[in-house]
């Protein structure tokens, strides 16, 4: 790596480097945002500024440049065997993109069921008390 590229990598903020490392591991902006507890807009801004600093054409190119600077030039896996036991220690413990929305679904379903049940009980109580009031009038 040339001296100019080294100085560019050194001028990145730690937040930008962290985002680029996760991009290099194959994570999407929404997953990175969830892992770092920020918005995906903030992640995209960090990546955009890092790309400008490094003069990279896209986020993956910027991530490769940082990985090369840091000495992480291993070949990323494109397809991984299903019998792989665990992720490396450096990988964040977040769900893959297709499962990211499924984490809270059982609790959401339970919440909706409870909401409908309570609403039905209140509505039924209102109807019964209304009919009782009508019978007292006559």
Q: What is the pLDDT of residue 137?
A: 85
Does residue 109 sit in the same domain as residue 62?
no
Q: Are 11 and 56 in contact (CB under 8 A)?
A: no
47 within 8 A of 62, measured Cβ to Cβ: yes
Structural domain count, the chain: 2
The pLDDT of residue 5 is 74
Q: Let me know: does 12 contact 69? Beta carbons within 8 Å.
A: no
pLDDT for the residue numbered 123: 94
In a domain, 46, yes or no: yes
Tell me, yes or no, whether 113 and 69 share the same domain.
no
pLDDT digits (tens, 9 = 90+) for 102-122: 555 677 788 888 899 999 999
Tell me the residue range of the domain where 133 lies. Answer: 103-138
Answer yes or no: do 61 and 112 share one domain: no
User: H-type helices in the chain, by residue range?
Assistant: 3-10, 14-24, 29-36, 40-54, 59-70, 105-137
Tokens of 66: 């940082």
pLDDT digits (tens, 9 = 90+) for 28-87: 999 999 989 999 999 999 999 999 999 999 999 999 988 888 886 555 555 555 555 554
Q: Are residues 18 and 62 in the same domain?
A: yes
Largest CA distance in the chain: 95
70 and 135 together in one domain: no
Residue 82 near residue 76 (C-beta atoms within 8 A) = no
- Greater model confidence, 91 or 132: 132
What would the two tokens of residue 32 be? 């990175």
Give me the CATH number covering residue 53: 3.40.50.2300
């Amino acid at each position: 790596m040339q001296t100019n590229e080294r100085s560019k990598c050194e001028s990145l903020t730690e937040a930008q480097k962290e985002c680029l490392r996760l991009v290099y591991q194959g994570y999407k902006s929404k997953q990175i945002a969830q892992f770092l507890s920020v918005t995906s807009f903030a992640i995209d801004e960090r990546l955009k500024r890092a790309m400008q600093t490094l003069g990279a054409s896209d986020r993956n190119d910027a991530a490769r440049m940082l990985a090369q600077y840091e000495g992480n030039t291993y070949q990323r896996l494109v397809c991984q065997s299903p019998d792989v036991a665990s992720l490396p220690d450096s990988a964040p413990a977040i769900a893959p993109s297709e499962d990211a929305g499924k984490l809270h679904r059982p609790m959401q379903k339970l919440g909706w069921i409870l909401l409908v049940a309570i609403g039905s009980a209140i509505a039924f109580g209102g109807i019964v008390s209304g009919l009782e009031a009508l019978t007292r009038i006559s």
